[in-house]
Amino acid sequence: MPSILQCIDCGQQFPIDTVIYACSSCQGLLDVKHDFGQSRTRLGSELFDGRLGSLTAPFNSGVWRFKELIYPGIEDDQIVSRMEGNTNLYQAPRVAKYAGVDTLYLKHEGENPTGSFKDRGMTTGVTQARILGMKRVACASTGNTSASMASYAAHAGMQGIIFLQDQEIALGKLAQGIAFGATCLQISADFDRNLELVRQAGDRLGIYLLNSINPFRLEGQKSIMFEALQQLRWRAPDWIIVPGGNLGNSSAFGKGLLEMHDLGLIDRLPRMAIIQAEGANPLYRHFAGGFKHFQPVKAETIASAIKIGNPVNLQKAIRTIEWTNGVVEEVSDQEIMDAKAIVDGVGIGCEPASACSVAGARKLAARGVIKPGDTVVGILTGHALKDPEATVGYHADSLSDISPAFQNAMLKADDDLDEIVNLLGLHQAKV
């Protein structure tokens, strides 16, 4: 077997086909570990660059293009893929100016098949479910995981079961879960509680869990780093900035960066900056307190995707911060929505949680942590269409406690040509 499961705390190993989400001895989180072994020397940039633009499965996927680093040793026909990944890396000078940094790239994971980065983790997670012979898969979700899992489960002919909180789920995400035919449970509990519930229900019923505590999810999400670095011609930026909720991405990125460095694909590690919403900031508090005593929080933020108070991947995220000399920052809902308006306003667009990357870059640059001349890659985690209420609410100035600094207010007119012409004349004068 070229791959095994290994506890990040006590090092205990388990066969790769064990259905397990935490170490049975110490409850530590599990890593999927690959033995690159004799093929190491082959795993260079030429191999992966040679597959760019491939029209054939599995290399037409931006995850499976890196198959040797994701899940070597499995048969190609076991893979459940929607040709995820292959997302754009935008150079965004106007957003960079707003953030106060010289060079900002935005990697838009909202361009995945279901509109968020989750598809990269779901192709690997559902592939493992198929390998294990699972018929039912489940997750708790703030919306994007469920949308993605519903799609991949349907694609693979499995039943998807999703645990959702009964309020504040963005409409675009809810609609996807229902449309893709998942069994949708609205529960009067927040995300953190729903995650406990789905773990217990899954154990009792033998349903495969596809939250990011499942290490196969993170193997797919690593590819965001592989692909971003490939797009940068394997030249490491100074900073990678990512929103932090359940901390799956933060964890996956650290592992992926380390593997790339170990294989000589990059010659230095970028620093990671993890950005949390002020109202959902347990990692930020823990970081600020020197990682001494972790306290979950009761989460509240307009960025509903990251309304998470007790992140399951905490220990892996701390490891990422240590490996990359990383930092954690917090941003207010006002800063998130203003940064979103800037990203939206240059025509790229993202959902509120994603805008943490830009709001965080701005704050870290203002504090002098990001230095002039640093190259920054911000991850946009989800598509602008995911959360239309937040966008329309911002521009209509109807969100409580937020005053839209970059408002694009709707104009209204009667069925009267003179009035319309007059209005447009005035508006033109304003821009």
Residue 144 binding ligand F0G, by CB under 6 A: yes
| Interface pick for ligand F0G out of 145, 214, 230, 391 (rule CB under 6 A) | 145
Cα dist. 55→60, 69, 94 in Å? 5, 20, 34
CB 360 within 8 A of CB 104: no
74/321 with CB nearer ligand F0G: 321
| Residues 158-217 contacting ligand F0G, CB under 6 A | 212
Give the count of residues interacting with ligand F0G (CB under 6 A). 23
Residue 378 binding ligand F0G, by CB under 6 A: no
Whole-number Å distance between alpha carbons of 9 and 28: 6
Whole-number Å distance between alpha carbons of 85 and 410: 35
State in angstroms the smallest separation of the CB of 274 from ligand F0G: 8
Residue 141 binding ligand F0G, by CB under 6 A: yes
Where does this chain touch ligand F0G (CB under 6 A) — which range of 10-18, 139-147, 233-241, 253-261? 139-147
Q: What is the DSSP string of 96-156?
A: HHHHT-SEEEEEEGGGSTTSBTHHHHHHHHHHHHHHTT-SEEEEEESSHHHHHHHHHHHHH
CB 365 within 8 A of CB 95: no
170/236 with CB nearer ligand F0G: 170
State in angstroms the smallest separation of the CB of 226 from ligand F0G: 17
3-class DSSP string for 300-312: CCCCHHHCCCCCC
Residue whose tokens read 């006590």:
10
Residue 116 binding ligand F0G, by CB under 6 A: yes
Residue 223 binding ligand F0G, by CB under 6 A: no
Where does this chain touch ligand F0G (CB under 6 A) — which range of 20-28, 30-38, 70-78, 246-254? 246-254
Residue whose tokens read 């927040």:
190
Residue 305 binding ligand F0G, by CB under 6 A: yes
| Interface pick for ligand F0G out of 244, 254, 279, 309 (rule CB under 6 A) | 244
128/246 with CB nearer ligand F0G: 246
Q: Give the contact letters, 334-353, x = binds to ligand F0G (CB under 6 A), - = no.
A: -----------------x-x
Q: Which amino acid is residue 396, in one-letter code?
A: A
- With b for 16 or more beta-carbon neighbours within 10 A and e for fewer, the 184-197 pattern comes to bbeeebbbbbbbee
Residue whose tokens read 């937040």:
390
Cα dist. 278→132, 302, 365, 401 in Å? 40, 10, 18, 14
Residue 246 binding ligand F0G, by CB under 6 A: yes
Residue 126 binding ligand F0G, by CB under 6 A: no
- With b for 16 or more beta-carbon neighbours within 10 A and e for fewer, the 297-312 pattern comes to bebebbbbbbbbbbbb
State in angstroms the smallest separation of the CB of 248 from ligand F0G: 3
| Interface pick for ligand F0G out of 306, 358, 376, 390 (rule CB under 6 A) | 306
Helix (H) or strand (E) holding 278: none
256/382 with CB nearer ligand F0G: 382
Binding-site ranges for ligand F0G (CB under 6 A): 116, 118, 141-145, 212, 243-250, 305-306, 351, 353-354, 381-382
